Structures are given as structure tokens and as C-alpha cells.
Structure 1
Amino acid sequence: MRLDELLEGLQAQIAQVRATRDRVHTLLDAVLAIGSDLDLDVVLRRITESAVTLVDARYGALGVLGEEGRIRQFITVGMDQEAIGAIGHYPEGQGILGLLIREPEPLRLSDLNRHPDSVGFPQGHPPMTTFLGAPVRVRDQVFGNLYLTDKRGGAEFDAEDEAVLRTLAAAAGVAIDNARLYEDTRRRERWLAASSELTRSLLSGTEPEQVLHQVAATARRLAGADLVTLAVPFEGGDELVIEAADGEGAERVRGLVLPATTLAAKVYHSNQRVTCGSLSDEPRAASGSAAQVDLGPRFLLPLGGGEHARGVLQVANLPGGAEFSEATMAMIDGFADQAALAMEIAEHRREAEQLMVLSDRDRIARDLHDLAIQRLFASGLTLNSVLGRVSDRPQVSERIQRVVDDLDDTIKTVRGTIYALRERDRSDGRGGLRAKLLAETDQAAETLGFAPALRMTGLLDTDVPADHAEHLLAVARETLSNATRHAHATAIEITAETDGNLLRLRVADNGSGIDPAVTRRSGLDNLHQRATDLGGSFTLTPNQPTGTVAEWTVPLPPWAEA
């Protein structure tokens, strides 16, 4: 009998040793499993599943902590989607879960419902009794907590379960740290690649508006956000306007004006980042983008720092979306600073290139004046002196006179070109009638796809009154618009001239001409009316071989002054 008892005891010890060996093997397998992947979400899921398997629990969860000790991510095992949907939302860190957050030490309970800190379960939550929890630390910082409930078989969690869970939590901290380092490395690579791409675009001469859209799109891709907006200030005001947007509802918020009472304006003036769990619930979001698109977690930060902030970048998710981590916000903050610096460098480069263009124009204007005009004028004088010697030969005299007249016209054209080169140097938008005509033709060139030829003769800036100048500009704008929309022309010649008595504008194109079937011509009626109001005339005649010639002629008052 004694021998049988000893054998049974030996067998029990052998079984216990085998169970311990199997558990150790299972623990080692779990450690290998959670350390075999570098994707943080996969690692967190494997940690939770391994904990449930090791202590033979029915339910398990891993709560990842965010700012102010709140649970910002909750991974569950043992519940199906129907049960999760019945609960409605993940816990916020109250009750027993909050106790483990406040006191991050392993905790075992035989009945969690009887604990003083228990606050019960929400409607739809499955009943739970036994409880085992342990913190997961990453470099001495609590990353989150493992929560396990209802050990299978109705038993309670014992000290061995606690020891196994603590070991798993320590290994999980190493795995999480590795995954985070890998994620930080990938994030930094994406950041550097995005910054380099943006810098190349800026330095290659991309239009500023396109650059702003590229900044918004890149920030959304880096942060994995649902919507990113970029608001820039109005000149001379406290309001902002959303110049670029990318993501969900971008069309609805693009161009939206943000008053000085919005969070975006606060960020712009304070140069400080602002975060919020739900943007649509923020009182100062009533006049911002959240008024157009229902938004959840988000953060706003200035684009650039100090007194040179160029705008405000808003990164947001839809309601129910994940909150942005500190690492993500730091990455976007760095990208925004890099983008602002690149934009400033590109702006200085454009200014330097513009200065070079202006210098070249000034040099060309001097050369035209000092060389071309002087030689043409000398040639004209020479031909004039020849006229007297060939007066007895009428045909020769006539031909020479035509050449002299052509030289005079060429000199006028060159002078107009010189003036045009110097007028384009003006960047303040002011100037006389010549400068405004140049601006109109430059603007029309963007739509036409080619630059109209402009010729200006006479003292347009001094002999033409302001009201006559406004009428002439309106006529030029209307005729160019007609040529753009209806004529399909490939060349346009504009002539504006005055002799002190008459003001004349002639616009000739090589387009398709006026369709006889079109009877409604409100634009042409306006041109006739403008000429009639000033006592002049407006004619529209066919051009040869194709196209239309519009001539607008009005008299000038004898007292006309600029």
C-alpha cells in the first residue's frame, strides 16, 4: 500500500512537471510568436491571444493607454463582433480597469463584482467573475494593461498564472518596443521621402497653390487621417481661408472662411499645437470645417514657426476613428516645419529668378533704345536726304517714302516694346493705361494659350482721361473674351493709339468669325453702348483671310488729363 501511494505521488509529481514543462514551452512559443512580427497592431493582437491561452482564460483584453491615463485602444479576445456591437463602446478606464491604471501592479480577484472599485458592466456585456490583470511596461513606462477574466473550469487564477502573465508582459514590453522602433523608422523614412519630394516640387517651379495641395495630401498620407485641411490668412485681416484640403469632404470645406474665433485662428496667432478628442463637439468649431463635415479626433498645428507662420494644418479623423499618437503628431509637426522652410527657400529663389528676368528686360530695353532705334532713325534721316535728289523720279520717290514710313512705324513699335518691357517690371499693380493694357493681355494669354501682339502708340497715359481708359479696358477685355470663347483664334493683334483728339482700339483675330446664325449678342451691344456714351463708334468687320476686326473709336475732350 505504501509503495502504491509513493508511486501515485511520483506520478502526480511527474504530471505536474510535465504540465509545467508544457506551460514553459507554451510560454516560449508565445514569446517567439509575439516577437516574430514588427507590425504593432499584429503584435498587440498576438500578445492578447497568447495571454488568454497561457492562463486558460475565456476572455482577454489589452488596453493601450493614451494621454491622461485614458484607454485609447482596446484589443479583445473571446468576444464576437455581435457581442462587441451590443456593448456599444470600449471601456474608458473606470472601475477595476481604472484601478489597474492608477496602481500598475498585478491584480488577482476571485470575484471582481465584489471589489469596492467595481462599477458593474454596461448593458449587453457578458457576465464575468474571476479576474487577473498585469501592466505591460515599455522602458519603465506603462504602455497598457492585460485584462483576463473567467478561468475555464470554474477555477480561480492562481499565483502560477500570475507569474506566467508577468513573464509574458515583460516579453511583450520588449516586442512592443521593437515594433515601435521599427514603426518609428518607417515613419521617419516616409517623412524624409515626403519632405524631399515636396522640396523638389517647390524648387522645380511648381505653382504655390499646387504646393499647398501637395502639403495637405502628403500630411494625410503620413498621418493616415481621414481629412487634412490647410488654412492660410487673409491679407490685412484676422480671418483664415481653407486653401487646400484632401480627404473625406474636402470639396465641402475647400474655400471655407474661418473667423477669428475658430481654433484654427487661435493656433495661427498662438503658434501652439492644439489637440481634441472630438472636433465637432468643440464650441469654437461651429464656424470651422467641423460645421461642414462631422469630425472626431484631430489636431491643429501652425505651418512654420515664429512670426513667419504661413498657415494652419488641421489633421482629423471621422467620428469613431482612432486618436493620433504623439509620435504621429510629432512627425507631422516636423514635416510642417520642413515644408514651411522649403516654401520660404523656393520663394526666395523665385524672387531671385524674377530679379534676373527684370535685369534682362532692362538690358534688352537699353539695347533696343541705344542701338536699334538710333540706327533706324539714322537710316530714316538718310533716306529723307535722298528724296530731294530723286524728286524728278516719282516712282523712286514714292518707294523711298514708303520705306521711310515703314521705318517710322518700326520705331514706334520698338518704343512700344521698350515701354512694355519696363511696365512689366512693375509688381505693385498700379500704373497708367499702358500698364493696365499689358495686364489684360497677359491675363488673356493664360486662357488663349498664346500671347496676343500688343501695339501702343501715343500718349495713352497722359492724354486719356480715367473714364475713357476704363471704357477702353472694358472693351479690350470683352473682345479678348469673345476671341477666346467663340473665335478659336491662334493669333490676335491689339492696337491702342491716340493722337490727342481720338482714342482708338483695334482688335484683329484670325479665328472663325461671327456666326450669322447667332442673333443674341449682348456683349457686342455693350461695346456699341460704350462707344455711343462717349460720342464714338464701334464697328465689326471680317478680317482677311479669316477672322474678325473690332474697332472702337471715341473722341477725347480737349481738357483731357491723366
Structure 2
Amino acid sequence: MAERPAEERRGVPAAPQLRLDELLEGLQAQVAQVRATRDRVHTLLDAVLAIGSDLDLDVVLRRITESAVAVVDAEYGALGVLGEGGRIKEFITVGVDEETIKAIGHYPDGQGILGLLIREPEPLRLADLGTHAESVGFPEGHPPMTTFLGAPVRVRDRVFGNLYLTDKRGGAQFDDEDEAVLRTLAAAAGVAIDNARLYEDTRRREQWLAASSDLTRSLLSGTDPEQVLHQVAATVRALAEADLVTLAVPFDGGDELVIEAADGAGADRVRGLVLPATTLAAKVYHSSERISSNALSREPQEGGGSAAQVELGAGFLLPLGGREHARGVLQVANLPGGEEFPDATKTMISGFADQAALALEIAEHRREAEHLLVLTDRDRIARDLHDLAIQRLFASGLTLNSVLGRLADRPEVVKRVQRVVDDLDDTIKTVRTTIYALRERDRADGRSGLRATLLSETDQTAETLGFSPALRMTGLLDTDVPAGHADHMLAVLRETLSNAARHAQATAVEVTAETDGTRLRLRVADNGRGIDPAATRRSGLDNLRKRATDLGGSLTLTPNEPSGTVVEWTVPLPSGADA
């Protein structure tokens, strides 16, 4: 029997066995890769569902950033939202705690690698951030970062912002699959952002329509126009989500405006403030053109304005009404550091302002019609009193006079009849006085009010002072203040402004005139030298004090900080006062 080969005696050949192991290992690797791809697809699908499950834009942006970090397994992530001029206006971060963010300071404005993605909105993958030619390094306190993957987020073919991912976990590099997944997520993010913005625009439009309806209803129901102006300011602030909104209206026959309504931060400081013709508000009123600014308080405005009283950042001013007849000026602003207002908000507020102006015009025509009806009714009453009442009373008096000659023998009766005739004469005089009063009131309806007189007084003093005093007026000064009280207030204003010009050597004066219906208050503050304690002749101050005590009020003088004097003249108003 022949002997078998040694290979057969040792069993199965070694080479085929090793080949099978390699095939099994390769198959296991492919299965693991398929599972990893499946898991990544599931992660991507979950991320797409997550970012599309909410319509609040802030929530959507946060979820986009968190999902981007998850799908590419990055340590850090951020979404930079672009504003006007291609600068980053919002920066949402993931992976960096609040303490580190505070230590870094302000978020980036679009320099270095971030700026490169803004200028060239295409996916960018880097093995080392620091070695790129566009790298500008990190600010103090910033965590170290090496690998980088970025991709733009487009909304309707416009770049909304950029996704920035750094430091893939495990020390690996971002690969082609990471870039492809991020591209897909960015596309889904663009759709989600667009939906959220459409929803936000729809919600704002609903608020605008509801506010316009409420405003029109209030005006046409007879609500006080001054109260309606405050309602307009509050509504605009809510719609624009602004820090401060002011509404300035013009004086009759002048170039100045006065802030009748204000809502938000610093509203009490600017309400009633008179705006000279050199301010932005006056320019908007006369040109009917909208003005926008990144820093309202830094705009050149001779004479100040609300931006000189309250530090303001981004904002815009627009006319209340059309080009032919603007009824006032709306100013919508944020405090320094606040966000700029998007064009959609400006357009919405502009539409609401036009609606408000139309409603105000309709209400004004209605008030004029009611006023005309009152005047017509007064004229009819006066005519009836003259043609009917007086003529009949006069005829009755003549009849009684003719009777007196027949009663000469009865002196007691004559005396009583004569008394009746005299009473009729007095009644005729009273009726005539009433007629004249009705007609005189009609002529007085066009008289100059206290507000206009205060403005005129401060304007006249500007020549003596060398500058225009800041004037703030609050309350129904034209209707709630009797003529006597108004005369006293004007005399006090002239004296205090004269003192500021002649003795105080002031470079700034603030005048505040206000009433709440129960008291009248005048406050004049300057930054001059103050009152000299050694001065003995103070007849002017004595006159001011006497004008206050004669009306049951008071006069106080206090130092102004850091220099100058504050004069406060306060008197009570009589109940039921009629200016």
C-alpha cells in the first residue's frame, strides 16, 4: 500500500483556512460599516425630525446646532447667523459652558476662518485650524481647537448663516461622509428656518391686524386721542420687541415736535420732550423718509432729542402717515448692545403706522364734525334766544309799562309792577350776556395754548442763553390749567431763565412743565454756578415764592448735581378748572 503525502496526513491545507478567516474578518468589517452607516442615517433622520418639530425660530436654531454636533460626532459646534453687511449678528454655541463664554467676551464678528466661510459660502474641511493662512488665532480664554468642518445654511438661495464644527471626538479627522452628512443637515435646516420665519411672519401679521383693529375701534368709539397715542406706542413696542418706542407730534404752525407718547426703558425721561428742528425726528417729519441707524445716540443731532436723554443703540424712525401729510414720527429703538431690527419688522411697523395715521385722521374728522355741530347748535341757541326769548320779554315789559299809567291811584300795585319790569330788564341783559359769551367762546377756540406759549418763551430765551433749553411738557396743559395759573407759571419761567442767563453762566438748562389735573409743576434745572450764599438781594426769588404762596403752593431751590440749581414751583389746581 502506497504511503500518503505528508500534507494529507496533517489534515486540511493551511492556505485555504487562512483565506477563509480573512474573508470572515472583511465581512464583519463591512457589516460594522453598514451598521455605522445605518446608525448615522438614523441619527441624521432624528436630527431632521428634531429641527423640523418646532416653529419657534430661536428653538430651531438651537436644535440645528445641537444636531450638527451629534451627526458628525464633534466636540464643539456653533451656528453664526449673518446680518447686514455679512457680519455675524447672532452666534449659537454647543459644547462651551457659560463661564467660558463670559471669559471669551463678545462673540466673533466674522474674521479669520469664519470670515472665509462668509466670503466663500462652500463646505470647508481642515485638519488643523491654526495652519490655515486665514487663521487669526483664538481670543484669551478660548478652548483650543484643531480639526474643523464648516458648511453654509441657505434659505431660498440666500445664505442665512454658517455651521462651524471643531474637534471630532476620538482625535480623528472629519471625512467625506461627515461633510456629506453636514451638507444634508444644512439643507434640512434651511427648510426648517424658512418654515419658522414664515410662521413668525404670520404670527406678527396677525398681531398687527388685531392691533390695527383695536386701534381703529378705540378711535372711532370716542377714546381720548392722547390715550390712543400711548396705545400706539405700546403696541408698536410689543410688535417690534423693542426697548423704547416714542411718538412725536408737531406743534401747530412750528417746526418743533413734542413727544406725546413713549413706552419702554426711559419713557418717563423723554415723555413731553420738545424736539427742535435739527433732530432726526424733525428731519423725518419734514422729509417723510425713514431713517435707520446702528447707534442712534451717536448720530449728529443739534438740540438733542430722546437719544440725548436715553442711551440708544440700533433703531429706526419713520413718519406716521403718508408723504403729503405726516401726523407725527415713530422712533423704534433698542438699548446699546441690542439687536438690529430686520427689514420685515420695519415694513410691518411702517404698515401699522400708516393704518394708525388713517385712523387718527378719521377720528380727527369726526371730532371736527362734532365740534362743528356744537358750534352750529350754539349759534341756533343764540339766535333763538335773541329772536324769541328777548323779543317776547321785551314785549311783555312794554305791555306792563303801558299798564302803569292806568294804576296811578294804586301806588302799591305800581311798585310791584315796576319791580317786575325791572326784573324783565335784568333778564334781557342776562340773556344778551349769554349770547355774547357763546359767540366769544367760538372765537376763543383758536387761541394760543399754554404749550405753544411755553415753547415760544424758551425759544426767545435761546438768544440770551446762547443755546436752546431742553423743554419737556406732560399732561393737559392747554385744558386743565386756568388762565391765571398759566400767567403765573409763565412769569416764573421768564424769571428763572433770566437768572440762568444773567447769573448762573449755565451751558445747559432743562425745563419741565407738567400737570396731572390736580397740581401744576414747573421745574427749571441748570448746570451753572449755583446760588451764592453771600448774596443778599433776592427780590426775584421772593416774587417767585409769593406767586406760589398766593396760589397755595410752594417754591423750592435745591443744588443740581454735579453743579447748578434746581428751581421747583408747584401749585394746586382748583377743582373743575377750565382753561
Whether TM exceeds 0.5 here: the answer is yes
Match of 1:265 in 2: 282
Structure 2: 5+ residue stretches without partners? 1-17, 449-476, 489-516, 520-546, 553-579
List aligned pairs for 1:181-220, cutoff 5 A. 181-220=198-237
SS state at 1:425 partner: helix
Alignment correspondent of 2:401: 384
Question: 1:485, 1:103 → 2: CA distance?
Answer: 66
User: Are residue 147 (structure 1) and residue 164 (structure 2) matched?
Assistant: yes
1:172 equivalenced with 2:194 (yes/no): no
User: In the alignment, is residue 293 of structure 1 matched against residue 310 of structure 2?
Assistant: yes
Q: Shift of residue 91 of structure 1? A: 1.0
- Candidates 293, 303, 307, aligned match of 2:324: 307
Task: Say if 1:102 and 1:389 are closer, same or farther in 2 by CA, change over 3 A.
Answer: same
1:15 match: 32
**In 1: Cα distance, 2:548 partner to 2:480 partner:** 25
Task: Find the counterpart in structure 1 of residue 340 from structure 2.
Answer: 323
Deviation at 1:98, TM superposition (A): 1.2
Q: Which residue of 2 aligns with 1:459?
A: none
Partner of 1:462: none
The alpha-carbon distance between structure 1 residues 320 and 522, as it changes in their structure 2 partners (threshold 3 A), is closer
Show the counterpart of 2:52: 35
Structure 1's 61 and 521: CA in aligned 2 closer, same or farther, altered over 3 A? closer
> Hey, what's the Cα distance between the residues in 1 that align with 2:478 and 2:30?
95
Number of aligned positions between the proteins: 453
- The alignment status of 1:86 with 2:86, answered yes or no, reads no
- Is contact 2:110–2:118 with CA below 8 Å preserved after alignment? yes
The residue aligned with 1:375 is 392
Q: After superposing the two structures, state which structure 1 stretch, 224-233 or 282-291, moved more.
A: 282-291
1:372-427 deviation line (CA, Å, top 9, x unaligned): 11111111212222222233223322222222222212211221222222222225
Partner of 1:241: 258
Match of 1:334 among 341, 348, 351: 351
Q: 2:278 touches 2:303 (CA, 8 Å); kept in 1?
A: no
Q: Is the contact made by 1:111 and 1:129 (CA closer than 8 Å) also made in structure 2?
A: yes
CA change 1:474–1:266 in 2 (3 A) is closer
Unaligned runs of 5+ in 1: 432-442, 449-469, 476-483, 487-519, 526-562
Q: 1:419 aligns with which of 426, 431, 436?
A: 436
Distance 2:215 2:42 in 1: 51
Amino acid at match of 2:347: A
In structure 1, distance between residues paired with 2:302 and 2:247: 15
Q: Which amino acid counterpart does residue 78 of structure 2 have in structure 1? A: A
Partner of 1:126: 143
Tell which deviates more after alignment, 193-202 or 220-229: 193-202
Of the three residues 360, 373, 382, the one matched with 1:343 is 360
| Residues 285 and 291, structure 1, Cα contact 8 Å, conserved in 2 | no
Q: After superposition, where does 1:394-413 map in structure 2 within 5 Å?
A: 394-413=411-430
Opposite residue 420 of structure 2, the aligned amino acid is V
Contact 1:280 1:286 in 2 (8 A): no
CA–CA distance in structure 1, aligned partners of residues 63 and 126 of structure 2: 24
What TM-score comes out, normalization by structure 1 length?
0.75
Q: CA deviation at 1:293?
A: 1.6
Distance 1:9 1:356 in 2: 99
**Cross-structure match for 1:52:** 69
Counterpart mapping for 1:537-552 below 5 A: none
Structure 1 stretches of 4+ with a deviation exceeding 6 A read none
Question: Are the equivalent residues in 2 in contact too, given 1:279–1:285 (CA < 8 A)?
Answer: no
- Higher alpha-carbon deviation: 346-355 or 276-285: 276-285
2:410 aligned residue: 393
Query: Per-residue displacement from partner, 1:497-542 (whole Å, max 9, x unpaired)?
Result: xxxxxxxxxxxxxxxxxxxxxxx996499xxxxxxxxxxxxxxxxx
- Paired with 2:68 and 2:158, the residues of 1 have a C-alpha distance of 20
**1:199/1:144 Cα in 2 relative to 1: closer, same or farther (>3 Å)?**
same
Structure 2 Cα separation of the partners of residues 444 and 304 of structure 1: 25
Residue among 294, 306, 330 paired with 1:277: 294
Give the Cα–Cα distance (whole angstroms) in 2 for the partners of residues 25 and 240 of structure 1.
62
2-structure distance, mates of 1:330, 1:81: 36
Matched AA of 2:382: A
